[in-house]
């Protein structure tokens, strides 16, 4: 398979090496836990550093709430995850037990989860640009293709062919800040999830993102990860999950009903959506497994075709630059100004940043020499700059 970054970036920029610290696990290492940073679906999350072989790496440590008897399952999952080496998958470190609790150690990704990005866009009254969603999907599909097919050794020393993620959601894919890279987190750690609010029965995964088959209790297959990824992109762009909507607290009966009907296509809810892109997500979220993408490579190819029919696909530098704008503290005021509301005038550094973003995203989001930010309402964009 062609490396998407090489293909895309070489069109405009010299191909540069990805500079990720999380590619190598030192042979001898120690973990220093620094502080608690939150409570996730898996349990408490801490920030820490790995020190070893003359390097230090920032990590997150997730302490499992799972009872003792699940430690062996966890150990198995982590053992497979540690063997994944991919630019778009956060490295998982070897399993540790502390105080009889399993600890998952993973590279700390500086950036934003797609769920945070979705909420940010909702708050700004914007929609995450389709082409960037296509790029994120493409890189994630590339990572899944790798992970689904790479030979790995299980704890008994036997070779297994690939591993499923089983919990692809907007919360488990991040856009990394430094390079605009896409990074999948919590790879293959589905069994960790203990958040009962998110589960009906004993499914492993997140409601609204697990496929109808997983919801019914069937075993996970490759197509279910494809469903998760397409539902993730759909949720990111539409602003909400169609099966478990955030606003109206869906009852179990409603969720069950939502799982039984096809979700409306993006073009149905937002007519200005690119039909080719909408079609891809429709296929990816079809109720019947046979109608979905059979594997990551097929989805990857369709996303690539979509990006290339758009001229050529956006590159991660433009995504990074766009993210800098969206997260700039002055950006909301600036948008308010554009929309005719009273807000402080933009500073010179902000206007400089805006110019930079215009240059960096020139081929993907410009109309009439202005930056076209996507919205959910007609005509589908707002012009700034
Ligand atoms: N490897 C990581 N790097 C940076 N932030 C992370 C990482 N893993 C988790 N986080 C942050 O912690 C939050 C909680 O993570 P997690 O325990 O996996 O629960 P959930 O997947 O339900 O959000 C994530 O939503 C994310 O904001
Ligand atoms: Mg997670």
> Which of 261, 262, 265 has the alpha carbon at shortest distance from 278?
265
Residues 6+ apart with CB under 8 A from 281: 230, 233, 234, 265, 266
Nearest residue by C-alpha to atom 12 in ligand 1? 40
Q: Which ligand is nearest to the CA of 104?
A: 1
Question: Which residue in the block uniquely carries the two structure tokens 């948008």?
Answer: 335
Residues 191 and 320: their CA atoms lie apart, in Å, by: 32
Q: For atom 25 of ligand 1, which residue has the closest CA?
A: 171
pLDDT at 2: 43
pLDDT for res 19 = 45
SS3 label, residue 280? helix
Q: Are 332 and 124 in contact (CB under 8 A)?
A: yes
Residue with tokens 């960790």: 192
pLDDT given for residue 191 in this prediction: 52
Q: Sign (positive/negative) of CA torsion 248, 251, 257, 261? A: positive
For the CA of 167, the nearest atom of ligand 1: 21
Query: Is residue 129 packed enough to be buried (19+ CB in 10 Å), middle (13-18) or exposed (0-12)?
Result: buried
In the chain, which ranges are E strands? 30-40, 43-52, 55-64, 92-98, 101-107, 111-113, 151-153, 159-161, 173-176, 182-184, 366-367, 370-374, 381-384
CA–centroid distance, 149 to ligand 2, in Å, is 22
121 beta partners: none
Distance (Å) from CA 171 to ligand 1 centroid: 7
Distance (Å, whole) CA 124 – CA 331: 9
Q: Which of 63, 45, 53 is nearest to 29 (CA)?
A: 53
Ligand nearest to the CA of 89: 1
pTM of the model: 0.92
User: Residues lining ligand 1, judged by CB closer than 6 Å?
Assistant: 38, 40-42, 45, 60, 62, 90, 106-109, 113, 171-172, 185-186
Both tokens of 144, joined, read 């899944």
Six-digit token string for 324 = 């800098």
- CA 168–ligand 2 middle distance (angstroms): 9
Q: d(Cα 379, Cα 368) in Å, to the nearest integer?
A: 15
Q: Ligand 2 centroid to 249 CA: how many Å?
A: 21
CATH of 29-107 given 3.40.1130.10, 3.20.20.300, 3.30.200.20, 3.20.20.140: 3.30.200.20
Pocket test for ligand 1, best of 45, 187, 189 (most atoms within 8 A of CB): 45
Cis peptide preceding 379, ω within 30 of 0: yes
Q: Hey, CA dihedral for 79, 115, 322, 296, is it positive or negative?
A: positive
DSSP at 144: H
Write down the pLDDT at residue 332: 96
368: left (phi over 0), alpha (psi -120 to 50) or beta: left
What CATH code would you report for 111-308? Answer: 1.10.510.10
Residue nearest atom 22 of ligand 1, based on CA coordinates: 41
Angle, in degrees to the nearest 10, between helices 316-326 and 114-124:
50
Report how far ligand 2's centroid is from the alpha carbon of 34 (Å).
Answer: 20
Domain layout of the chain by residue ranges? 29-107, 111-308, 328-384
Q: How far is the CA of 327 from the centre of ligand 1 (A)?
A: 19
Ligand 1 atom with minimal separation from the 193 CA: 22
Residue 169 CA: nearest ligand 1 atom is: 21
**pLDDT tens sequence for the chain (385 residues):** 444 444 443 343 333 344 444 445 666 778 899 999 988 777 789 999 988 878 888 999 998 877 777 788 888 889 999 999 999 999 999 888 887 788 899 999 999 999 999 999 999 999 999 999 999 999 999 999 999 999 999 888 899 999 999 999 999 999 999 999 999 999 988 654 444 334 445 567 899 999 999 999 898 999 999 999 999 999 999 999 999 998 777 888 999 999 999 999 999 999 999 999 999 999 999 999 999 999 999 999 999 999 998 876 678 899 999 999 999 999 999 999 999 998 888 999 999 999 999 999 988 888 888 999 999 999 999 999 8
pLDDT of residue 364: 87
Residue 28 has a pLDDT of 75
Tell me the DSSP string of 302-342.
HHHHHHHHTSS---HHHHHHHHHHHT-TTHHHHHHHHTT--
Q: Which of 171, 173, 175, 195 should be mutated for ligand 1, with most atoms under 8 A from CB?
A: 171
Ligand nearest to C-alpha 194: 1
Give, in degrees to the nearest 5, the angle at Cα 55 between 52 and 60: 80
């Amino acid at each position: 398979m062609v490396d998407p970054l090489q293909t895309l970036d070489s069109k405009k920029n010299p191909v540069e090496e990805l500079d990720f610290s999380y590619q190598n696990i030192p042979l001898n290492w120690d973990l220093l836990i620094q502080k608690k940073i939150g409570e996730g679906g898996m349990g408490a999350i801490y920030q820490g550093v790995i020190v070893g072989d003359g390097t230090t790496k920032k990590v997150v440590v997730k302490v499992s709430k799972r009872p003792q008897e699940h430690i062996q399952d966890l150990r198995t999952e982590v053992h497979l995850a540690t063997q994944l080496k991919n630019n778009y998958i956060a490295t998982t470190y070897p399993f540790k037990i502390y105080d009889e609790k399993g600890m998952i150690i993973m590279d700390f990704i500086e950036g934003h989860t797609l769920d945070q990005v979705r909420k940010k866009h909702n708050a700004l009254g914007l929609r995450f640009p389709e082409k960037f969603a296509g790029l994120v999907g493409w890189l994630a599909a590339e990572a899944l293709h790798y992970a689904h097919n790479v030979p790995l050794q299980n704890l008994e020393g036997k070779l297994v062919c690939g591993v499923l993620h089983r919990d692809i959601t907007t919360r488990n894919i991040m856009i990394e800040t430094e390079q605009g890279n896409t990074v999948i987190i919590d790879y293959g750690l589905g069994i960790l999830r203990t958040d009962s609010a998110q589960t009906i029965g004993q499914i492993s995964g997140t409601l609204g993102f697990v496929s109808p088959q997983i919801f019914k209790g069937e075993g996970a297959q490759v197509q279910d990860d494809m469903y998760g990824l397409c539902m993730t992109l759909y949720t990111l762009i539409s602003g909400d999950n169609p099966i478990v909507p955030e606003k109206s607290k869906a009852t179990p009966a409603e969720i069950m009903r939502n799982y039984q009907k096809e979700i409306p296509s993006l073009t149905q809810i937002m007519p200005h959506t690119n039909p080719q892109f909408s079609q891809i997500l429709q296929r990816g979220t079809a109720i019947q497994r046979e109608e979905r993408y059979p594997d990551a490579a097929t989805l990857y190819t369709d996303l690539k075709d979509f990006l290339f029919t758009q001229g050529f696909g956006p590159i991660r530098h433009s995504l990074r630059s766009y993210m800098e704008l969206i997260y700039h503290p002055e950006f909301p005021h600036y948008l308010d100004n554009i929309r005719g509301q009273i807000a402080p005038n933009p500073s010179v550094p902000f206007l400089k940043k805006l110019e930079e973003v215009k240059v960096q995203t020139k081929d993907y989001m410009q109309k009439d020499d202005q930056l076209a930010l996507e919205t959910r309402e007609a005509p589908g964009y707002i012009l700034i700059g």
